[in-house]
Chains A and B, each alone.
Chain A
C-alpha cells in the first residue's frame, strides 16, 4: 500500500516593531520580567487597545511577499479563552477576514519545485509567559501584546525535511523584509503543524495537530515521527484519533495533549474597541515600498549576474545584510567571485572569532573592495591580504593605510624584482647552469631564494615571470600519477607501473611544442590507475595545492590512468575549480607508445593556453572534468573511450572547495606563500576517514536490501546510489526492495545521494516509486554521474565545506548546491 502524507504549517512570527501591537510598551526579548508592561497589555480595568501602524504595515508586507490577496478591510475579533498568561482572557485576533489570504510560496526542495499555498495571514497579540517553579507558576507579561502574525499554509507539504526547508525559506524571507528576526530559540518564530496520512489517492486523512516544536530540527523530527506513527497505525489497520500532540524533545516522541472539550468554543466576535482598518492608496504604496528582492530571487540573480556558484549565492543571500554588503563591495570595485570567497571564508572566520556581525564590524564594503583590488592588482599577495583583513578588524583603518603603515606592500615593480632576480642568479651559478642544461629541478629553489630575499613580499607570479624571462623558460608542471601512460609492458605482455621520466624527456625535444617551455616533473608514485588510494590522492592534492598557493607554474599536467580518471578529474575539479589550468590525461597503452606521447603533448598544449579549470585530454579531444564516463575499452579508437554525460548539466568551474581548507593550519605570521598548507598526513587521514563513511551502490533486480542495512551498521553514513532512469528503484514490500533500507537509513541519519545508471536527470519526477524514495529522504543528484557525486562527497568531507561532516543535513546542502 502506498501512503501519502499531508502537512500544513501554522507559523507565528513576532513582528519587529519598536512597541507592542496595542500599546506603547517596548516589544523586546530578554528584559527583566514585567518591566515592559502598562495598563493596556496587562488587561487593566478601563484600558483600551490602540493599533500600532507599523504592526499593521509589516503584516501587509508579509502577506504581499507571500503573494496573498490583501484584504481591503482589516477587522479584529476577540478569541475567548481563559489562560493565566492571557491578560484579558481573550486574544485580539482575526477570524472572519484575515488581512491576507490565498497566497503562495514557491519552494525548490530536492530538485522538486512546489508551490505551497498560503491559506491566510492574520495579525494578533502574543500572550505573556508562564514558567513553573515549585508549587507556583510565575508570570511575566513583557511578551504580552507583542504583535504576532500567523501564517497558515495549506497541507501541501509531505515530509519533515520539506517542512523544515519551507520554514527556513520563510525565515530568510521575513529577515530580508526586516519584519522579524526569525529566532526560534527565543520564540520570535514559532511553528505548529497539522499532519494527516492516508492511502495515496484517497485525499486527506484525519488531522493531528503537533505543537511544541522549538527548533527547525524538532520540526523535521516531530513531523517525520508523526507521519511514521500515523502510517504505522494505518498499516496495522487502526484509525487515527483527531487530537493535539506535543513534541517531547527530550524523548524524541510526541505525546497526546489532553484538552477539555468545552475550551474549544472560542466565541469569536468583532472587537468593539478597534475600528476596522481600511487600506488606502498611500498605505498600499508604503507596503509596496517595503518589498525587497526576496532571497530566492536574489540567489538566482547572484548566480546569473555575478557568475557565483549556487552555494556561494545561497550563503550570501542567507542574510540581507551580507547580500547588501556583497553588492556594495562589487559596486566599489571588487571582483564578485573574490568578494564571495572572502566573505564566505576569511571574513566569516574573523566574524566568528570576534563575535561581531558583518554590518557592525569595522569592515565596510569599500574596505573589502579596496583589499581585493590591492590583491588583484598584485600590490599585496594572498597571505598578506589575510593579515591586512585582520588588521582592518583590529585597527579599524583602510587597507591601503594598513599596508603602507606596516610595510606590507608587495613588490610589484618588475624593475625592482628584476634586480633581485639578477642578484640571486648571480649567486646561484650552479642552479642556473643546471636549468640551462635542461634540468628544471632547481627552479623552485630559485623562486624560494628570491622570496626570501624580499621577506616574502615579492609578487610570486612576477618572480616566476621574470625568472622565466631571464632563463627563457615557461614552466608547465607535469605530474605523474600512475597509470599505463607511465608504465611499461613486460615481456609476457602484462602492463606494470613505471615512471614518466622518459616520456617527459622526449617532450622537451618535441618540435610540436614551442621552445622555451620547461617541464618540472614530479613523480607521485608508480601504480596503475585501478590501484589509486586515498593516500595517493592526498599526495596529488598537496602537490597541486602548493603550486596554486605559490603560483610558480602556469599550468599543471597530470598523467594518470583511464580506470579512475573520471574520479580523479572530478575530485580535482570540485577542489580546485578555476584556480589554474589543470589538465589530466591518460593512455590506453604504455608510455613507450605514440598514443601516450600524443596525449601528453596535447595535454601540455592545453595547459599552456592558460584557461583555468580542470579538463581532461584524451586522444584529440578535450573534456570537462565533471561527468566524464569511461565507457569503452578499445585498442584503437581513443575517440570513443570517454564521453561526457549530460553535457548540459556540467557545472562551470568556479571557486573550488579547497578554499574552505585554507588557513586550517592556522599560522598567522607573514611567511612564504604555501607555508601553511596542510600536510599529506592530515589530508590522507581526512580522505581515508571520508572514504570509510561512503559507499557506492547500484540497484539491480534482487538487490538484498539487508546488505545495505549491514553496511549502515558497519559505519557507512553516505550512499551514492545508482538508480534506474530518472530515479526509480523497487520499494515494494519485499526483502529485495529499498523500503526497509530507506527507513533504517532515516532512523540512523544516513543519506542516499541518488544518481542514475543511465544518462538521465535524476529528479524523482516521473514514477510513483520515485515519490516514495523522495518521501524516504533520498536526495536526487540531477544530472551528475556517480563518479562526480562520489568525488564531490569526498571533496566536501575533505575540506570541511560542510563542517566536520557529522551533520548530514549540512553535507546534503553542500551536495545539492553543486
Chain B
C-alpha cells in the first residue's frame, strides 16, 4: 500500500504535488511548510550526528596529530593515508574483516533462510514460541553474547573442550584463543548466533510475500520441494534477500564488540574497526585514527555501491516505497 502522495494530493487539490507551472495553492504551500517543520528536526539531527563528524574526521586526518603532543600538530596533506595504506597492519585488518564478513554472511544467509522456513511453516501453536526464542539472540547485548561464547570455549572455564574432546584436534588443553584460526572461529560463531535472527526475520517477511497460489501451481505441475524453492520461492523474494544481505554485510564489516571482548586483536585477529579504535583511543593518534575511520567509511560506501550496482538491490523496497 503506497497511498502516500496520492492521498495527500487528493486531500489537497489538483495543483498540489505537480509543482512547476501551476502556482501552488496556499493549502499545498502550507502542507509543504508543515512537512519540513515536522521532518526537518529529525533530518538535521541525523546530519549533525554523522555528516558533521565524518567531515571533521576527514579534516583531522590531514594533520599529523597526537594528543600527547599537541604542539607538534602539523598539516601533512594526505600523508596519513599514505602511512596507513602502505602499512601491512591495515591490509591485514582489512583481510581479517573481509574474511569474517564473507563467512558470517554466507553462513547466516543459509542458516537464516532455514530458520525462516521453519518459522514460516511452523505449526500455529509453535510459532509464537519460536518467534520469542529467536528474538532473544537479536535483543541480547553483543558483549554478553561475546562473553558467553568466550567462556564456553575458554580453556579455564569452558565446557567445549570436555564436551567435544572426542573430536580430532580438540583436547582438554586446546587453547581456542591461542591462535588465529580458532580465535576467528569463535568470533564468527558468536557473531552468527547473535545476528542470524535478524536476517531470518527479514527473510521470513520476504517469504510471506511469495504468492501461495504460485506454490500450489508448481506443486500441481509436479515440482519437487527443491524445485519449488529454487524456481518459485527464491526468485519471488529476491528483493528481500538482497536487502537482508546488504544490511548484514555492512553490519558484519563494522564488527568490533566480539573482537574486543575475545581477543583484543591478539593473534592477528585485529579488524578495521578495532584498528581505528586502537589508534584513536589507546594511542591517541588522532590524525592516523581519523584516516583509518575515513577509510573504513569509504569501504562501507564502496560495499553499498557494489551491492546496488552489481546486484541491483532495490533500495526503494528497503525504504518502504514501491
> Do A and B bind?
no
Residues of A at the B interface (CB closer than 8 Å) are none
